[in-house]
Amino acid sequence: MSSESLSPSRLANYATCPRLYDYRYVQDVNTPDRTELYLNQGTIYHETIEDVCDATERDDAAETIHDRAMDIFAAKWAEHSNSDDYESDAHQEYQRRENRAAVESFFDPDGGDGIEHARHSVATECWVECERDGRGLHGKADNVIRTDEGLHIFDYKRNTRGVLSSRTAEYLGEHRDGEAHEPKRVRNAFQTATYIEGVKNEPFYEGGMTVRFSFYGLLNSTSFESTPTGYEVSARGYPRETTDIYAEHHDTIWALIRAAHDGITGEAYEPEPFDLINEEACPDCDYREMCADRLSTEVRR
């Protein structure tokens, strides 16, 4: 069995469509440029959280951490925000206020989750690796914090809409059996497995520690309010933990990992089950206009 190490992102691309993986990673086919808007915003809040955590000591006052976060956010916005990505100056200003509100809420000195995330962080942008049955996985965890029971890994996102939940975890088995197409939730499962198992190989992990994993949506809830002088934007974030889902659906998740990993290392790029992939994945695919698999269905009609 190949020991090639793969990331959750690559495995998820394969789970979306093997042909998509072929075009994107094997043939390296260029696709039309897409806006950098949300990629840049992601960079801004990721780097803000990382720098705050790295600069924070356990006994730092909450107000100190909050002020540090707002200063770092301002610098990161100036560094990474590009006016060319926006429809207008007003659009860019709204996005600045929205993202600033998310960072301010996260590092709210009066109970914001980010205060404890910063105080108890043991590693940011932490590269982790693991291997099972000759199949290697790797990834980069946004933040690992120490808890009373062990470690809690966080992946920061804009929001958690559509993220794997206890209510939707049953779809993982349906995807495995070819009865449903759920690549986004499968990707969440790949991430959960990679980070939970990978962090166990880090020097700060001690045997017997409880390891948890959560996605954290910084902009899960937003509101807009007009004021006499303009408007105000507020935001609130909260986590979605997938630790229990990993435990309850462990065998299914690793079956999905094996299928994707073996398909990639075995260079098996035929999209199966094609009818389901064609219906669910093809409409939004960057390669749809050149894909022979999809075009052949048009010819048959």
- Domain assignment present for residue 105? The answer is yes
- Domain assignment present for residue 5? The answer is yes
- pLDDT-based confidence at residue 1 (cuts at 50, 70, 90): very low
> For residue 283, what is the domain's CATH number?
3.90.320
Q: Is 208 in the same domain as 291?
A: yes
Q: Is 103 in the same domain as 167?
A: no
Helix (H) / strand (E) containing 171: helix 170-176
Joined tokens for residue 266: 């075995």
The one-letter amino acid code at 15 reads A
- Domain assignment present for residue 51? The answer is yes
pLDDT over 80 at 38, yes or no: no
Res 89: pLDDT: 92
Res 34: pLDDT: 54
Q: Which residues of 40-61 are buried (b: 16+ CB within 10 A; e: fewer)?
A: bbbebbbbbbbbbbeebeeeee
Res 33: pLDDT: 53
292 Cβ contact partners less than 8 Å away, ≥ 6 residues apart: none
Its domain, for residue 3, covers 1-29+121-223+235-301
Tens of pLDDT, residue by residue over 201-253, are 999 999 999 999 999 999 999 998 888 888 899 999 999 999 999 999 999 99
Task: Please state, in angstroms and rounded to a whole number, the distance separating the CA atoms of residues 153 and 127.
Answer: 12
Q: Is 132 in the same domain as 108?
A: no
- pLDDT-based confidence at residue 55 (cuts at 50, 70, 90): very high
Tens of pLDDT, residue by residue over 261-298, are 999 999 999 999 999 999 999 998 989 888 988 887 75
- Domain assignment present for residue 213? The answer is yes
Q: Into how many domains does the chain fold?
A: 2
- Domain assignment present for residue 125? The answer is yes
SS3 68: helix
Q: Is 182 in the same domain as 269?
A: yes
Tens of pLDDT, residue by residue over 190-203, are 999 999 999 999 99
SS3 26: helix
Joined tokens for residue 227: 């004021």
Q: Is 178 in the same domain as 291?
A: yes
pLDDT over 80 at 301, yes or no: no
pLDDT over 60 at 189, yes or no: yes
Q: Is 63 in the same domain as 167?
A: no
Q: Is 158 in the same domain as 249?
A: yes
Q: Is 41 in the same domain as 113?
A: yes
Q: Is 162 in the same domain as 25?
A: yes
Q: Of 119, 134, 158, which one is at a domain's C-terminal end?
A: 119
Joined tokens for residue 127: 């590269």
Q: Of 119, 154, 175, which one is at a domain's C-terminal end?
A: 119
Q: Is 250 in the same domain as 272?
A: yes
Q: What is the mean pLDDT of the chain?
A: 93
- Domain assignment present for residue 230? The answer is no
Burial class of residue 7 (count of CB atoms within 10 Å of its CB; 0-12, 13-18, 19+): middle
- Domain assignment present for residue 229? The answer is no
Q: Of 74, 89, 119, which one is at a domain's C-terminal end?
A: 119
Q: Is 47 in the same domain as 159?
A: no
For the segment 3-18, the average pLDDT, to the nearest whole number, is 94
Q: Is 71 in the same domain as 146?
A: no
Q: Which of 240, 297, 238, 226 is nearest to 102 (CA)?
A: 238
Question: Does pTM top 0.75 for this prediction?
Answer: yes
Tens of pLDDT, residue by residue over 144-184, are 999 999 999 999 999 999 999 999 999 999 999 999 999 99
Tens of pLDDT, residue by residue over 100-141, are 999 999 999 999 999 999 999 999 999 999 999 999 999 999
- Domain assignment present for residue 228? The answer is no
